[in-house]
Amino acid sequence: MAAGNDGANKPENDDPFGYLYEDGQAAGAQPPQGGGYGYPGPAPAQPGVPRTSYNQVRTVGERQYGGHANPQHAQPYVPPQQQVPYGQPTAQYAAPETYGGPPTRQGPPPQHHHGGGSGRGPNTRGLLIGAVAVVAVVVVGIAAAVITNKGDDDKDKQAGGTTSTAPVKPSEQPSSEPSSEETPAELPKQNAATLKLGGTAMLAKDVKGAEGADGTYVGGFNQVGSSVTWKAQMPTEGKYRLTVRYAIPAVDANATLTVNGKPNTQPIGLKNFIHSSDPNLEKNWQTTWAPVDLKKGENEIKISCETGNQCDVLLDWLEVTQAQ
């Protein structure tokens, strides 16, 4: 085969890896300066000059990571700016080691651990304990509210009232104006010792148990003509009860009751309602009552010992109460 025009290159230079072999190096092979993958290509071909390798192959050990072992390769290779068609973006790529420093390695983003040891992930136990604590507080609050409401309801029931959740209308709201409803007037009560006495009736303190001032009561009532008269003020007209506290020697007694000058058709009974068999007067204090018709204002109430009455009795006090 006839030898062609090899131009300025030698045959061993056509082998991109010729400089790696000892025979190629002995023949003076040099690493090609053309472009390789990711590097600019060789200069445009010239007529009559064979092409050189399109791959830029480097000598083993030339490419370094971090520091440079060979001072002649300390400066990174900067490829020339390639011309791209109009309107297209310019792409530039260089091997990471050409920019200096160790190559960057893509990997998943670092994970941040919160509250746990190395490599254990989030502290789920702490979160769980916190959640349980919050739930426990809520449950305790609800239970306390239910118990409180139940206690209020029980109190209302014991007091005879009812609990209403209906909103209060403006007309039902409390008013500072005085109520037009009159409160029931207090009915009169009088110690017998402060009444007008007649006949042989007299004050005494010998028998214990009387509720009058200093234990005073009316005695000496066992004679015909003896009496006590009470001027009672009544707020309204109506039917009432006249209640009398007395003591007897375990024997039934009675007396005549006169209201506003009109004697009752039946005497007031002063009987042995406690069924005592002891004649000791101190042990036989008790009460009785009789119906009376009273007018509004002053009323004269008289208890007297008349003919036919059994009047061996001590009188303590008189009181007017509502008729049942």
pLDDT for 284 equals 96
Closest C-alpha to 289, from 273, 300, 275, 276? 273
What separation in angstroms does the CA of 59 have from each of 21, 29, 55, 190, 294? 11, 12, 13, 137, 140
pLDDT for 25 equals 60
Residue 283 backbone dihedrals phi, psi, to 5 degrees: -95, 5
Residue 299 backbone dihedrals phi, psi, to 5 degrees: -130, 140
Q: Which two tokens stand for residue 64?
A: 């370094």
Taking the CA atoms of residue 276, residue 282, residue 288 and residue 293 in that order, the dihedral angle to the nearest 10 degrees is 160
- Asked if 201 contacts 217 with a C-beta cutoff of 8 angstroms, the reply is no
Give, for all 324 residues of the chain, the pLDDT tens digit: 444 555 455 555 556 665 565 665 666 666 655 544 444 555 555 666 565 554 555 556 555 555 444 545 445 555 555 555 555 555 555 555 555 555 555 555 555 544 444 445 556 777 888 888 888 888 888 888 777 766 666 555 554 444 444 544 444 444 444 444 555 568 899 998 899 999 999 999 999 999 999 999 999 999 999 999 999 999 999 999 999 999 999 999 999 999 999 998 889 999 999 999 999 999 999 999 999 999 999 999 999 999 999 999 999 999 999 987
Report which DSSP code applies to 302.
Answer: E
pLDDT for 148 equals 72
pLDDT for 141 equals 84
pTM, two decimals, is 0.45
pLDDT for 323 equals 87
pLDDT for 151 equals 62
Q: Which two tokens stand for residue 176?
A: 């500072």
